[in-house]
Structure 1
């Protein structure tokens, strides 16, 4: 992500299928290219949920669980979840909170995002390129990224404010519109640049303006004001230009066998266990009989013919014989 809280693409990889081997291979390449030595500061999001829960109560409780910014609040939400649903609590207890809870996110990263909405937006745009050949697909995605980076660069350079990005300003607007909630809190001066904040429900937090910290950890997680959100930092991240690519006529000729398309494979799905029904069978594997007309023969599986010319594959409405009579 860039300093304006938007997606910043680093690499593009094409694989035949999503599985463990391809994921390990792609992450290994990413570690080598970016020279990652400490993996604890990286988060990998995979969209592989088995089923979406439709209830609203558990959904809100789960988001409170995930958005808890400090450990004590997380423990309270865990107990509330346990009272709400023991099955949901048991399912969450199997998951490591270090991978998805805001209370375990390290400070200093200037980012507290828990969702991958920006990735879904990018996928919705490049979805149409999946039907193209691999070279055309990569070129189309490359041109989109090229235009997107140019647009972001021009938009930020046209800003009248010299130090802040749009995301920086939006966070201050949220603080401005949250005055109603702030009126319920009481601020006490403790010492130089230090204050005690008393909130409803007996919540109390210590704020240090000098070190820009709060014991609720929201300030440290978002990192505002941080050089990450400055306009100058944003422009530096968009300084490197993508190299232009020549067309196929200027590609180097190599004495290698041509690349073959991948073999067509059936998409993974649950295997069908039921046998194919015959024309005289219904879902219950019995001879089909109409209960209202037990003496009438069923037409299921019968090959119908035209009532005019007695031929198959059409009926009297589309019969050529009828059409010729109308023309006469």
Structure 2
């Protein structure tokens, strides 16, 4: 078995997602040897263990790995929490949680100027399941900026409170900090934020609110009404949007009224975060990068995240080198769009700092001295290029390989965690929304039709119209002909 594993090790290194069936076909093609899929599956497990390491043994080396990280990145915070032990004389401690926050990310976050963080969690799979908790900010160019992460036993109020307490210490956030968080409305997380930061502004992701809303009120009409209310930047416009919802559907209006507007509408955001973000896509994007590593051993997983964070800083610095002007690329693009629309604006000067700006039936008051506008659209954003560059002035340093690690001086050895049954079944891919399911089903149906066409063509040796949608020339529509076309005949 080890010989077979050695033979397929190169294939596993390049394409680790190959199935046992595909590996079996490749092995038979190379060596002309018949193997069963079960044998190839066992060989793949051995090859992956050689590549990624052993799930159990990596916990015993975890303290040495942490020492190397702290040595290369001084000022970073890495905390390991273990299960309570009744016998203090035991030389082993059972792993429970680990929290990682690199000093380079903390230093950069303090230059962001945006007191906004997204919170989310995703499943850890493999031999020891758990959850990866992530906290992600947004930089000046509206791109994700990971700040810290943790691997915990489960996503619950207790683990979130532990995570937020450590995060507050690293970011110097007092208990009564007026900070801003955005999340997907997990019950345990809501309670944890209220407990650790009772005065924080906690926004809810509008996409998840809409997913709950569309279970009862489906269609583009209700979707447009909801996002019109959430996107309103001033209270009068928000009230107008809610009044329109009330006239359209009273039940939907009452359902939305139960959620505080400060949690989901820009009109009620404080503006301290300098971000008008309504969606928690930052955490979703970061979690997507972790899909291929969530079933790996603990050190392999931590190393993958460190390498990704390092490469991201390098990528952004290359982007900054090509930027020109005083504004970030996103703000420069928005400024160019404003210049093309300025001919439609009617500006009237009131005094040295106050101006009245009018476009169609909308009118705003701009104060140049205070840099404010009654529409509040620009009060919620920040966009200077110099600030964006200062965020990425620090790097996360690499460490040598395991054979060069210094053994830890800690008298106890960490052992693998308990098996914690997760709430819900871990999915390989994210849960699809209702509209996405229909599109996916239509795509699969069309793919089956194409496969049928290919089978008929190979059997008959000629093309057929099976699976081919032909448009009718008079109206340009599909699925009918001249006898069933309902379009009016043009004279």
- 1:267 to 1:209, Cα distance in 2 relative to 1, 3 A: closer
2:275/2:381 contact within 8 Å kept: yes
Q: 157, 162, 174: which one pairs with 2:337?
A: 174
Aligned to 1:211: 370
Alignment map for 1:190-269 (pairs within 5 Å): 190-201=350-361, 203-223=362-382, 229-249=383-403, 250-253=405-408, 254-263=410-419, 265=421, 267-268=423-424
Aligned to 2:230: 66
1:81/1:89 contact within 8 Å kept: yes
1:109/1:221 contact within 8 Å kept: yes
CA shift digits 1:158-208 (9 cap, x unpaired): 33x2532212212212313545xx62x53333233422233434x322122
User: C-alpha separation between the residues in 2 aligned to 1:155 and 1:265?
Assistant: 43
Q: 109, 115, 119: which one pairs with 2:273?
A: 109
Alignment map for 1:10-159 (pairs within 5 Å): 10-37=147-174, 38-46=176-184, 49=208, 51=212, 53=214, 54-159=218-323
- 1:193 to 1:255, Cα distance in 2 relative to 1, 3 A: closer
**Structure 2 residue 141 is matched with structure 1 residue 4:** yes
Length-normalised TM-score, structure 1: 0.71
The structure with the largest alpha-carbon Rg is 1
User: C-alpha separation between the residues in 2 aligned to 1:25 and 1:33?
Assistant: 13
2:317/2:392 contact within 8 Å kept: yes
CA shift digits 1:94-139 (9 cap, x unpaired): 1111122111222353321111222222211211111111211111
User: C-alpha separation between the residues in 2 aligned to 1:266 and 1:244?
Assistant: 33
Which of 1 and 2 has higher RCO (CA within 8 Å, sep 6+)? 2
Name whichever of 107-116 and 85-94 sits farther off: 107-116
Structure 1 residue 7: deviation in Å? 0.9
- 1:125 to 1:177, Cα distance in 2 relative to 1, 3 A: farther
- 1:264 to 1:111, Cα distance in 2 relative to 1, 3 A: closer
2:153/2:420 contact within 8 Å kept: no
1:43/1:99 contact within 8 Å kept: no
2:367/2:373 contact within 8 Å kept: yes
- 1:108 to 1:39, Cα distance in 2 relative to 1, 3 A: closer
Structure 1 residue 242: deviation in Å? 1.1
User: C-alpha separation between the residues in 1 aligned to 2:302 and 2:185?
Assistant: 22
User: C-alpha separation between the residues in 2 aligned to 1:258 and 1:7?
Assistant: 33
Structure 1 residue 219: deviation in Å? 2.2
User: Structure 1 stretches of 5 or more lacking a match?
Assistant: 224-228, 270-328
User: Structure 2 stretches of 5 or more lacking a match?
Assistant: 1-137, 187-207, 426-491
CA RMSD of aligned residues (A): 2.3
Higher strand share: 2
Structure 1 residue 47: deviation in Å? 6.2
User: C-alpha separation between the residues in 2 aligned to 1:198 and 1:165?
Assistant: 27
User: C-alpha separation between the residues in 2 aligned to 1:23 and 1:74?
Assistant: 33
Aligned to 1:187: 347
1:165/1:231 contact within 8 Å kept: yes
User: C-alpha separation between the residues in 2 aligned to 1:208 and 1:76?
Assistant: 25
Length-normalised TM-score, structure 2: 0.49
User: C-alpha separation between the residues in 2 aligned to 1:172 and 1:98?
Assistant: 28
